[in-house]
Structure 1
Amino acid sequence: MDKRDAAVTLRETAFQVIKRHIVNGEWSGGTFLTEKYLSELLGMSKTPIRSALDRLEMMGLVKHSPKQGVIVQELSLKKILEFYELRLSLETYAARKLTGRMDGAFFQRLDDNIALQDEAIRRDDISGYVELDRAFHAMIVGGLDNEEYAEVMSRIQDKFLLAVRMTFVKHKRRLIGSIEEHRRIREALAGQDPALSAQLIEAHIEYVKKIMF
């Protein structure tokens, strides 16, 4: 690996590690992060750290403060509701388009994901379930094979997970309801009724919105 490739790898590693800490809720909104601390934590120079922080700021996960360094962004109620509306539009559209049109490989991926969701619930692994929930919904939008849609979904999910995690922490019984709804959505996508698929997606997302607020 030459120096250029190594630099790219370090930037990507820094980005993924910092993002994971934020999205997992380990660094909550309002947390101050210094380049020195992050450099020591990740065992790398400040250059890839700065690059990662710039990228995270563009995503809206952190903001730079001239006097305090970098601050993890807090999600406002307005912003969370905006994410809900955008996600609802993306996923109901995808559900209508994909119903009755996907191959066995697509459904095998959904089935494998649901099986892992079931394992996470039995382990009481909320963080693991949230990541699998994210992947399940990303697979549905990804089925459109549209890079722009997939990119928008990815940006939403990185921020949305902060809110979703808190929902499952406060309402653990919701895990069972969530996975059952995922199973029904999967079956509807394999059927021939696009309106039903969209209806199930909408109800699934709206229910989380209801119990959160």
Structure 2
Amino acid sequence: MVVLIIFHQHVCRSDIDFQEFCLQVLLECVSKDRPALLQVYLSLYTTIGYMADEITSDISFLGDSLFLSSLKLALAYNEALLNGRILTSRGSIVLAIFLGSLRKRVEEILNCFAGLENHFSNYLKSGRWPSEISDEGKPSTLLSWYLQWYSIPTPTVIKTALEKIKPIRTTTSVPLLRLLLPGTHISAIDEINKLFLSSEVNG
């Protein structure tokens, strides 16, 4: 309890959004008697903040992208609880609304980079990574986050899937791509479909 009081006195005096976050965390930790949850919340919250700083600074705040795997695991666990695939008397470890806000923030960070679509297209065509240093920020870092967040396979796997679809005349390849790339997020499937249709028209 002392840790929670210190946290409230010394940390919850930032901007309004962070104050609201702190109050939600404190309520969760106190009501469920889980002070150790504080570290989990802070770790997830600050990591997303580091993501935003990473792409606008010359300093590297995040050594790798493993944090995305951790967040995706937390989201998958929470969704399994909500869908009844996992049964536990303790309920969700972290508030679902908090995890949802983190998911939204990650996707906002990825979507704010205007050149990502072109870099993704070039990556699929050539298999090459963009330069890490450019006027656009850190495209290589953002592309790696994008690929991991949306579970996008290698260009070779995607090209193989597209070759199977090519003989089939259809206005959209999304349903077929979802069958051939079952682990890939629908947002990435849509982008792959756009690139495929564009190449068909230009080809």
- Fold match by TM threshold 0.5: no
Which is richer in helix?
A: 1
Which is richer in strand?
A: 1
Higher relative contact order (CA 8 A, sep 6+): 1
Please say which structure displays the higher CA radius of gyration. 2
